[in-house]
Structure 1
Amino acid sequence: MSRSRPETLTESLPGLRRVLRRFAPYLRPHRAVLAGATTALVSATLMRLLEPWPLKFVIDRVVPSGTAGTGGSGVAAVDTLDPMTLLALCAVGLVGIIGLRALFQYLATIGFAIVGNRVLTQVRGDLFRHLQGLSLGFHTRSKAGDLTMRLIGDVAMLKETAVTAALPLAANVLVLLGMVAVMMVLDWQLALIALIPLPVLWFASIRAGKKIQAASRKQRKVEGQMAATAAEAMSSMRTVQALSIEDRAADTFSGANGTSMAGDVRAKRIAAGLERLVDLLVACAIALVLYFGTLQVLRGRLTPGDLLVFITYLKATFRPIRGYAKYASRLAKASAAGERVVQLLDEVPEIRDRAGAVAAPAYAGRITFDGLTFGYGGGRPTLDGLTLDIPAGTNVALTGPSGAGKSTLAGLLLRLYDPSGGRILIDGQDIRDVTMTSLRRQIGFVPQETVLFSGTLADNIALGAGRDVTRDEIEAAARLANAHDFIAALPDGYDAQVAERGATLSAGQRQRIAIARAALRRCPVLVLDEPTTGLDSSNEATVSEAIWRLAKGRTSLLITHDLSQAARADRIVFLEAGRVAEQGSHADLLARGGRYARLWALQGRGQDGGALRAVSG
């Protein structure tokens, strides 16, 4: 649920209290650098406070003046110096003050940049690990492009804003406090006159900040949707071009792009209006001080140098508010980005280790599904009290019409989801009593669509092995998967670089890589989800041979619509409406003359797995 629009300036600043509280633990290890950078920032502020004073001494003691009451600067030690000596000291002092201010400002900028980059680099790493640990249900509901935008774009915005906006604003606030204090000491009445416009500016800044914050939050959300649209189109470019829907995808992206532009222009228009208001009120304040201050000089209550310091301070005093106007849009965007990052960090995985979960022992592989009930999103149950016992080392084929719960069983076994009722046991132990990592390390998985990652073919085969593997082991796994010959024929062999998602390999080649990957894991339990779907007869035969070679001696669950594949299993389980409709060997099921036998007859007359998919009960 989105938050309501902020009501206070504190909530409008980038660094909302929630964001700061969430990032506070990341700052603690860098307290020394942060303290040094803060000290440098305060020192730079003090140097800025000193900048007008050499000019004051020159005006009061060196430059001839016929005004009344200008007998000295008001500082005894300065008034005793020879005018030319004082002029030289003031010139050198001015260079020294400005030089020190530049040095301290540099140290503060570098210090805060180091802390900001270290903290947000760690935040990004933790956010990526956290995203990987979030349940599959969360990722199903979310858009990959928006998550990528939060991980890359939002964290980058926080990094950039920490130095380019937050640091100048902090410095300006310190300048504001310091200069107001000095002005009150010089002449409190004139200071009060000078600060008359301040409440108006403060009120205008709060109102503008709220509007900018709302516009920026909406714009950031639209940018996330735009990233999701772009990622979706880019990852499905083959389908986009095949269906000739480039214009539709471009129109969707352009609509979001235009909305983002309008939000950015609105935020900048509000910020620009605030800047102009600041300029006008600063002019009014300077005019008041110039008039009443000159009267004070003529009466001898102030020196001309005091008035110069006063006006210089006055211009700098309003700079923080003008700075807020300048950085308001950027700060508001950073605030929205921080909220989006924190929202993800605070997301609790639906599927996680129980308290007291232990590492799984080495499994023999007996699997028991005990009264399983499960439905996606609280809808109609996909599984309805399903019970099934699979002895260790048994090859089981799960078949049945689409939606019967075959792939759901695989997801539950891997704990990608948890059942709403019932339990799953391996060797008599509830899988929720062991850690997910130790469970999944003992289950090999070959999906219907194999995803390959950037790197070499050898890297992709070794992926997920959970241990260091040698090239000989990789080659042995590839031979088992019937992948060695096509890999060896490539110019770089096992060192060939994989294109994005394995686009340069055929579906059959990608499946054989997945089988080699599973073989290298040496798992007692194997799950194969439609591994031959979409393959031509030649590739299907090659992959099928590799599958059964891999399944030998393991407890395997082969999910398939192809009954010729199912017939090779030790046991066939026919699922229907989330229950076991019938089970047994291929010969037993044919002898019963039930659903399996009728579908076998359909496929035997030239029908393929599509006949089984079309059956709905």
Structure 2
Amino acid sequence: MVRLFSEYGRENLPWFVAGLVASVFGRLVGVVPALVLGVAIDAVFFQNAPYRLPLVPAGWIPSTIAGQFWLSFWLVIGAFAAGVGLSWVQGLGLAVYSNRVQHAVRVDTYDALQRLDMAFFDDKQTGELLSILNSDVRNLRTFLDSTLSGGLQLVVAVVGIAGVLFYLNAQLAVVTLVAVPLLAVFTVWFMQTIRPMYRSLRESVGALNTRIENNVAGIEVIKASTTEAYETDRVAEASMDYYERALAVVRLDYLYQPSMELLAGVAFAATFAIGGIWLIFGPPGPFTGDLLVGEFVTFLFMTQRFIDPLSGAGRIVNAYENARASGERIFDLADREVVVADDPDTAALGHVEGRIEFDRVSFAYAHGREVLEDVSFTAAPGETVALVGPTGAGKSTAAKLLLRLYEVTDGAVRVDGRDVRTVPIQDLRSALGYVSQDVYLFDGTVRENLVYGTFDATSESEMVAAATAAEAHEFVSRLPNGYDTRIGERGVKLSGGQRQRLSIARAMLQDPRVLVLDEATSAVDTETELLIQRALDRLTAGRTTLVIAHRLSTVRHADRIVVLDEGRVAESGTHDELVARGGLYATLWGVQSGDVEAIPPEALDRLVDRLKASDGFDTATTDGGNE
């Protein structure tokens, strides 16, 4: 919480100070009516004491009873009016401050989130991250907006009212304030007990959000599988876990809150009893001196105003601990170390010719076996190199290492002779175009998705030309609003082939020197594949291209085909050379072309064994979900 103020509070400090100062004076002004009423009762109505007010010079007080009466009247009216004005300043100041801090925390946390390594996202659920960016950040805003001022008002009330009570009658003030140490001890115990419970509660919120987010994203699968009842049970289970943890917090709160009210009520009752006895029968027991009616009335009013904030201390502590748990989650996310980051000594990549080199590259996902081992190959500028092999061979991983989404474990990946670790990440990825089988389109218009990454650098004519070259202009023109048609989340209103052609058009607008095609045509029908293949031929012309493919017919004309098997380079050559060699590639080609009879039985047996071995799923070794 200290960090929240030191890092995010300074820029908006005037709003914070204005809100807190108004909060303090608002609480102080609130005691004026009770104090004036007590003085007026004794000096004006009973006329058995002089008219005196703390901090008010005697020369300012009228000498007549009527003057003192009207002074009391206007002081009470002025106090209420000042309270309204101060309340407005407090609300506005703290609302502006808390919302600005909320905005800054959310934006900075999101910025830190999107810079984290892909390995982090492999292990984290979207719902949990959304819970941090929304629910936890909102908890901080609530704390800054209302809880903080409430806590300060509580302190001011205790100190200010205690001062007034001691000024009026120190002996009776001790009776009223005797409960304060007990309340403090009880509050410390409550904070220590409820803190881990709030941490657990915030985690359960993330788990519930994750379950709901996953189900909404997979609603088509749920409906097609008629598993609505099953998923309802799973959401109910997550919701029940949240309910039980929330109920544990509430139980403790309902133990603490009434106990605070009871202690505060006992203090009020003791004040009433001793003060009443004092007025009727004289000073009881060890008490001495006189107690005036006005003083006693002021004591009762003040004690009530003193008890109200004390009994509300539970809500303040509750909100603080909730905000603290949220703050821990937020800063834990913001402080995570980024492994794949620019080295201070990186130098600009400059003009890219397009030479790609994998030099004895090895890689393993966190806590897993090696996915790539001692992989070496080269793509000269303008060449097309295809990576093929059985599922789980490491093909997509190689592409991600080129994009530096992950860091190599050993060896080096080079672009134009430069190790990618010595190149600014933005330079590297700007020089590389990536077209994946799993196309992601944002919820927006066709236009917004096409120019994504180039934005203002793209003219209308360039956009249309790219769409035409990608075989997309014709179907876009038939959409209700053409390029301004909204396509829904992930482009759900378009077919798979249409989404793929838009992604190719987007890559054309980015005009990369090196192109990575990861299964770009594997999920479409034959007719659509023909259109996409024609678009890809235009896109790859003159560019160094790394093609990852399961469907070997799409890469038979590549300049070089590198066959990966269990993370190693099994063989390399042109299509004709590899078929003639009779190795793994020839076996895969025979299976896909339907010429199974020409494949030796032992080769088929080896292929089946490899496929069985790759069927296991391990979160530590999975090849990003694309293998």
TM value normalised by structure 1? 0.91
Q: Secondary structure at the match of 2:337?
A: coil
* Greater Cα shift, 586-595 or 550-559: 586-595
The AA in structure 1 aligned to 2:81 is: G
Q: 2:264 aligns with which of 282, 286, 303?
A: 282
- Percentage of pairs with the same residue: 32
Task: Give the structure 2 partner of residue 445 of structure 1.
Answer: 434
Task: Give the structure 2 partner of residue 47 of structure 1.
Answer: 29
The AA in structure 1 aligned to 2:40 is: V
Task: Give the structure 2 partner of residue 373 of structure 1.
Answer: 362
Judged with a 3 Å threshold, the aligned counterparts in structure 2 of structure 1 residues 282 and 22 are, in CA distance, closer, same or farther, namely: closer
Q: Secondary structure at the match of 2:135?
A: helix
The answer on whether the counterparts of 1:73 and 1:303 sit within 8 Å (CA) in structure 2 is no
Query: Deviations along 1:344-375, whole A, 9 cap, x unmatched?
Result: 11112221111222332121010111111101
**Per-residue deviation, 1:475:** 0.9
**Per-residue deviation, 1:231:** 0.5
Q: 1:574 aligns with which of 545, 563, 571?
A: 563
Q: 2:383 aligns with which of 385, 394, 397?
A: 394
The answer on whether the counterparts of 2:437 and 2:523 sit within 8 Å (CA) in structure 1 is no
Judged with a 3 Å threshold, the aligned counterparts in structure 2 of structure 1 residues 606 and 481 are, in CA distance, closer, same or farther, namely: farther
The answer on whether the counterparts of 1:30 and 1:115 sit within 8 Å (CA) in structure 2 is yes
Task: Give, in whole Å, the separation in 1 of the partners of 2:202 and 2:546.
Answer: 45
Query: Deviations along 1:186-235, whole A, 9 cap, x unmatched?
Result: 33332222222222222222233334333332222111100000000110
Task: Give, in whole Å, the separation in 2 of the partners of 1:424 and 1:464.
Answer: 24
Q: 1:256 aligns with which of 238, 241, 246?
A: 238
**Per-residue deviation, 1:79:** 7.7
Residue 543 (str. 1) matches residue 521 (str. 2) = no
Task: Give, in whole Å, the separation in 1 of the partners of 2:333 and 2:609.
Answer: 41
Task: Give the structure 1 partner of residue 624 of structure 2.
Answer: none
The AA in structure 1 aligned to 2:557 is: R
* Greater Cα shift, 95-104 or 304-313: 304-313
Query: Deviations along 1:547-598, whole A, 9 cap, x unmatched?
Result: 1221111010110011111102111111112121111111221222222122
User: For 1:9-88, what aligned pairs fall within 5 Å after superposition?
Assistant: 19-64=1-46, 70-74=48-52, 81-88=63-70
Q: Gaps spanning 5+ residues in structure 1: where?
A: 1-18
**Per-residue deviation, 1:152:** 1.4
Residue 232 (str. 1) matches residue 214 (str. 2) = yes
**Per-residue deviation, 1:315:** 2.4
The AA in structure 1 aligned to 2:460 is: R
Residue 533 (str. 1) matches residue 527 (str. 2) = no
Judged with a 3 Å threshold, the aligned counterparts in structure 2 of structure 1 residues 564 and 311 are, in CA distance, closer, same or farther, namely: same
* Greater Cα shift, 154-163 or 501-510: 154-163
Q: 1:587 aligns with which of 568, 576, 580?
A: 576
Residue 205 (str. 1) matches residue 199 (str. 2) = no
* Greater Cα shift, 184-193 or 569-578: 184-193
**Per-residue deviation, 1:471:** 1.2
Q: Secondary structure at the match of 2:325?
A: helix
Task: Give, in whole Å, the separation in 2 of the partners of 1:555 and 1:489.
Answer: 34
Q: Secondary structure at the match of 1:347?
A: coil
Task: Give, in whole Å, the separation in 2 of the partners of 1:564 and 1:215.
Answer: 58
Task: Give the structure 2 partner of residue 3 of structure 1.
Answer: none
Q: Secondary structure at the match of 2:49?
A: coil
Residue 306 (str. 1) matches residue 292 (str. 2) = no
Q: 1:220 aligns with which of 175, 183, 202?
A: 202
**Per-residue deviation, 1:295:** 5.6
Residue 186 (str. 1) matches residue 168 (str. 2) = yes
**Per-residue deviation, 1:24:** 1.7
Task: Give, in whole Å, the separation in 1 of the partners of 2:64 and 2:128.
Answer: 69
User: For 1:486-505, what aligned pairs fall within 5 Å after superposition?
Assistant: 486-505=475-494
Alignment RMSD: 2.1
Residue 509 (str. 1) matches residue 509 (str. 2) = no
Task: Give, in whole Å, the separation in 1 of the partners of 2:557 and 2:33.
Answer: 89
Total equivalences in the alignment: 592
Task: Give, in whole Å, the separation in 1 of the partners of 2:241 and 2:174.
Answer: 45
Task: Give the structure 2 partner of residue 616 of structure 1.
Answer: 610
Q: Secondary structure at the match of 1:616?
A: helix
Residue 196 (str. 1) matches residue 196 (str. 2) = no
User: For 1:421-440, what aligned pairs fall within 5 Å after superposition?
Assistant: 421-440=410-429
Task: Give the structure 1 partner of residue 541 of structure 2.
Answer: 552
The answer on whether the counterparts of 2:268 and 2:307 sit within 8 Å (CA) in structure 1 is no
Task: Give, in whole Å, the separation in 1 of the partners of 2:320 and 2:161.
Answer: 24
The AA in structure 1 aligned to 2:146 is: T
Q: Secondary structure at the match of 1:556?
A: strand
Judged with a 3 Å threshold, the aligned counterparts in structure 2 of structure 1 residues 541 and 270 are, in CA distance, closer, same or farther, namely: same
Task: Give, in whole Å, the separation in 1 of the partners of 2:75 and 2:389.
Answer: 89
The answer on whether the counterparts of 1:205 and 1:321 sit within 8 Å (CA) in structure 2 is no
The answer on whether the counterparts of 1:367 and 1:425 sit within 8 Å (CA) in structure 2 is yes
Judged with a 3 Å threshold, the aligned counterparts in structure 2 of structure 1 residues 79 and 546 are, in CA distance, closer, same or farther, namely: closer
**Per-residue deviation, 1:106:** 1.6
Task: Give the structure 2 partner of residue 6 of structure 1.
Answer: none
Task: Give, in whole Å, the separation in 2 of the partners of 1:361 and 1:419.
Answer: 23
Task: Give, in whole Å, the separation in 2 of the partners of 1:280 and 1:318.
Answer: 10
Q: Secondary structure at the match of 2:546?
A: strand
Q: 2:471 aligns with which of 464, 469, 482?
A: 482
The AA in structure 2 aligned to 1:579 is: R
**Per-residue deviation, 1:379:** 1.3
**Per-residue deviation, 1:272:** 3.0
The answer on whether the counterparts of 1:399 and 1:559 sit within 8 Å (CA) in structure 2 is yes
The answer on whether the counterparts of 2:39 and 2:52 sit within 8 Å (CA) in structure 1 is no
TM value normalised by structure 2? 0.90
**Per-residue deviation, 1:390:** 1.3
* Greater Cα shift, 200-209 or 113-122: 200-209
The answer on whether the counterparts of 1:272 and 1:326 sit within 8 Å (CA) in structure 2 is no
Task: Give, in whole Å, the separation in 1 of the partners of 2:8 and 2:148.
Answer: 18
**Per-residue deviation, 1:77:** 5.4
